[in-house]
Chain A
Amino acid sequence: MIAGERLLRLLSDPTSRFVVTPILDADEQINDSSIDIRLGPDIIVSSRAVGPASFDPSNRTEFHEALRERQQIVRRRLGDRFHLQPGEFVLARSLEYVALPEWMSAEALGRSSWGRLGLTIATATLIQPGFKGTITLELTNVGNTPIVLHIGVTVAQLVFNCIEAHPDAPRLANAAIPVRASTESPDARDPGPDTTGSEPLEAWLTSWRGRRRRDSRYDHQLEPAASRLDQDADYSWVSPLALRYVVGVVGARFSGKSAVVSYLVSRRGFRLYRFSDVIRDEAVRSGRDPGSTQVLREIGNEMREWSDDAIARLLFDRIRAEHLDPDHARAPVRIVIEGFRTPAELGAWENTGHFRTLLLEADIDTRLRRFAQGGFEPAEGATEPMPGEDAGLDAQRAWFEHWIDQAAAGGLPLGDLLEAAAAGRSKVRVENQHDGFPILEANTRSALTAIERWWRAQEIELPG
């Protein structure tokens, strides 16, 4: 059996005639002694026989007719779903094209994580030396529950064997199997360390060894463990999201965020997600009072201690789970998020490629006026009321800055967030200096037009 690192060396050597292409994620696919392969986009499904139909190779005409009638090729795209029903058998192919030199054979084996769900790869999976092409996978669901396969996820692994007697088998492939010629001394058994790669390749391999996960996720199990397939990194990118784009509404207090969110939801069909939803769920899960502002603030802070973008990532996970619609039966949705509190949360979303920041802008006097006219409750924790008009605008501004802008907004001041939003590359500004909704609506519409243009100009077909 040829080790994973040696496989990489062979792949990088054009004279080796060993090809597995494309490898979409070397860190995840290359293991200690195998290469994971992915489900390709073409699947042959069989229909149930009705009547005396059968596959009888002795009668060539009927055999071909039965194949035509009973087997149908279904073509899908990367990320699409395919449901394998209990007892169903299909022929799939690997996404990767494989070429083996004459001194190498391979076997296609199932992955343990899929096997634990009932997916088996049939036994006729020996790949002969000199093979070229995609690998046919005979998949059967021997479990009792339908299995959802996504085109592009790793479903099997290839292990490679060296035909040691073959004269072309290179030394490095045989290094795991000590071969001693009769005239050699016993000390010649060890062929020494494998350093046949170029210096840059060696450096890359050193870095790769540090990155990849070495331990099996089922290590140390003392009883049968259920599948942990959901932990596959593939699922963060293979499955499409039926999203058009995501807009994050950011602004200082009383800059009009609620009005914009309401407009987007009620007039433009956006779906609303809040950071507070994730925190509230965590409260419920941990048995605490989800209705208490204090509790929610504490939980939010705790979650941000796990990681400063933890809530952003959990929110992404929730949105992702609720918008996996690879059949695209619905029109891709537009989403608005409110509740950003930190630059890290905004930055995490900005990096996804789906996202634009709607940055609401209103000067302090406008916001102060809205606060005063709105009859809002005194700022939480304020030990003095806002000065009246007779105290002068400067005094009111100072009070407003201290008790509103700089005060804890959900436990965190917004200054850093606003600065990050203004500096961010995904921002679209919406000016909200005027009272009355029509101007804000017009400004928001213009911003959405710009966002639509950006979305349609995306270079790559983003999922959904």
Chain B
Amino acid sequence: MSAQAADLDHAFELLLADTLMRIEALTERLREVTSEYGRNVDERSYRTYADAVQLLALACRAKAEGFGEEFRSYSPGARNGVYGELVSLAASLSVLLEEPLRFLMLRRRPALETLSTPFRRMTKKLVPNSELLLFPWAADSYEQSVFDHSEVPEPDLWEPVEREYGRDVQFIRVRHPLLRQDDPFQNAVIAHEIGHALIRLPLPDGPRQQLNLPEDSAEDVITVIGAAVDRAIAPPGKYSEGQLLSWVDEVACDIIAMRTVGPAFFVAFAEVTAASHTLEPERSHETHPPAQLRYRYLLEELERYTETVPDQGLQQLLRPFASVQGLDETSVEPDVVEWIHDCIVTFRTYVDEIIAYPYPPPRFAKDLPLIQTLAAAATPPAERIVAGDSDHQEMPEQWSRQLDWRSILNGVLLWHLERSADNSSPDTDVAVARKEAASLALAGIQLSEFQRRASKLRRLLGPMRPSDDWISL
């Protein structure tokens, strides 16, 4: 072997070893991330993530160690190519860990700690075999990315992860703005980001058959729907096919967010969008459609909730949020709007099969009066007394049942908006009132989560307690 070739091998070994050591250190750090509460509520998700990344790193090393004599006889150029790919992959693994760690070191505030558990629970139901990782970042926007087998260029490297967690395991990373993490109401936007992971999945069998699609097609929901709409994918105009599909994607995720967290998303969307337009008036529509287009569908989804509540005041309270001042009027060609509409109609046809409706309007309607009554009394809405309730037959001995966290979020937010609109106390600082409402909602959600956990664990573990008589024998 020439000296140059030996140097190349040596350089590669050093670089790979250095990268893997860094990954190991980052993995350990990520496993130990703490919060104000001592241990991090997302600890389990981050441990799993760190373990998966480390398995990949070890697979890289095993692959490098498997380079035999035959490989070493290849030209330096050819070997360099393979080395480069492997080191590049290892380095990207390092970035996977660095990014969340960099921001998790900033202590997360109680608001998101409280919401993290219910969001994670909801995600696991929507996206099978997934882990949700929430971490703050400096930008004033919400973004998601998914780390799964498709990110790894060589399938054999994913095998250790597949053996441990299953091939389809996905790590859904949602970045949320640091400066908004204290406001539970605005964090409803996280539901939209989770929606992006959901629609990456292949279309379920039922809709697939109805659309006459091949069984083995792994295309995601939006791509399939875009292709199924009865016109050319890319209507002539200034927008590319990819851009239009991205717009459909965004609107679909808005619909998913409304159906997963309710009207709170509508308000959060309006507030976050208004803020971003203030900051970025010339916002590019490369990936996101104009706000007017999104509001069209958001208002339709909102009506599914508001029409369940007899008092029409809710509609009047929320509709003004949709009036987006100062934005460019719709500059999108009518046939593009029509094509997007056809896609969304198709999506809506199948959305009930894509996502089991986690937060149905009747639940919202049932819980709203109680929560608003409790909020008006400054009582954290945590539970509903069900003792003797004939609807509560599955646990007839139970005194109370936890309120749904989404009901608490929506109920307290709407109560807050109503009292702000009422303007009966014009001297009340709006920001202070908002903080009070946020604290009330978070307290209610925290207590309802305690109730949920206690109820389930008492039911599961209580019967296992040995009788005191046995212990004293």
Contact = CB atoms under 8 A, between A and B. Distances in A.
B377 A17 contact: yes
B382 interface: yes
A70 interface: no
Interface string A425-464: 0000000000000000000010001101100111111110
B380 A207 contact: no
Nearest to A457: B124
Nearest to A445: B163
A21 B41 CA distance: 23
A376 interface: no
A317 B466 contact: yes
A24 B450 contact: yes
Contact of A352 (B455, B461, B468): B461
A334 interface: no
Interface stretch (A174-182, A229-237, A251-259, A393-401): A229-237
Contacts of B125: 459
B112 to A, nearest CB: 14
A24 B387 contact: no
B431 interface: no
A25 B164 contact: no
B373 interface: yes
Nearest to B35: A75
Interface string A30-46: 00000000000100000
A456 B129 contact: yes
Contacts of B37: 41, 75-77
Interface string B439-473: 00001000110111111111011111111111000
B39 interface: yes
A76 B443 contact: no
Contacts of A148: none
Given A24-B455, A77-B39, A352 B460 contact: yes
B391 to A, nearest CB: 10
Contact of B453 (A78, A207, A351, A445): A78
A453 B129 contact: yes
B46 to A, nearest CB: 12
A368 B169 CA distance: 40
B129 A348 contact: no
A311 to B, nearest CB: 10
Contact of B388 (A200, A236, A351, A463): A200
Interface residues of A, number: 71
A449 B164 contact: yes
A461 B44 contact: yes
A344 B326 CA distance: 69
A11 B400 CA distance: 11
Interface in B397-450: 397-400, 402, 443, 447-448, 450
B38 interface: yes
B39 A236 contact: no
Interface in B119-141: 121, 124-125, 128-129, 131
A12 B387 contact: yes
Interface in A169-214: 197-205, 207-208, 211
B164 A456 contact: no
Contacts of A307: 467
Nearest to A30: B399
A316 interface: yes
Given A97-B447, A207-B396, A12 B124 contact: no
Interface in A15-61: 17, 19, 21-27, 41
B48 interface: yes
Given A310-B466, A456-B48, A26 B131 contact: no
A97 B463 contact: no
Contacts of B377: 17, 19, 99
Contacts of B469: 306
Given A14-B373, A313-B464, A457-B129, A237 B454 contact: yes
5 smallest A-B Cβ distances: which pairs? A200-B388, A26-B399, A237-B457, A204-B388, A24-B454
Interface of A: 8, 11-12, 14, 17, 19, 21-27, 41, 74-78, 80, 95, 97, 99, 132, 152, 197-205, 207-208, 211, 231, 233, 236-238, 306-307, 310, 312-314, 316-317, 327-328, 331, 348, 351-354, 445, 449-450, 452-453, 456-463
Given A75-B36, A353-B460, 17 more contacts: A11-B385, A21-B379, A21-B380, A26-B387, A77-B37, A77-B38, A204-B399, A205-B388, A237-B461, A306-B469, A310-B470, A316-B466, A317-B464, A450-B166, A453-B129, A457-B128, A459-B124
25 contacts: A8-B399, A21-B400, A21-B447, A22-B383, A22-B402, A22-B450, A23-B399, A97-B380, A97-B382, A132-B378, A201-B387, A204-B388, A207-B397, A233-B465, A236-B461, A237-B460, A313-B464, A313-B467, A317-B464, A328-B39, A353-B461, A445-B163, A453-B166, A456-B48, A461-B44
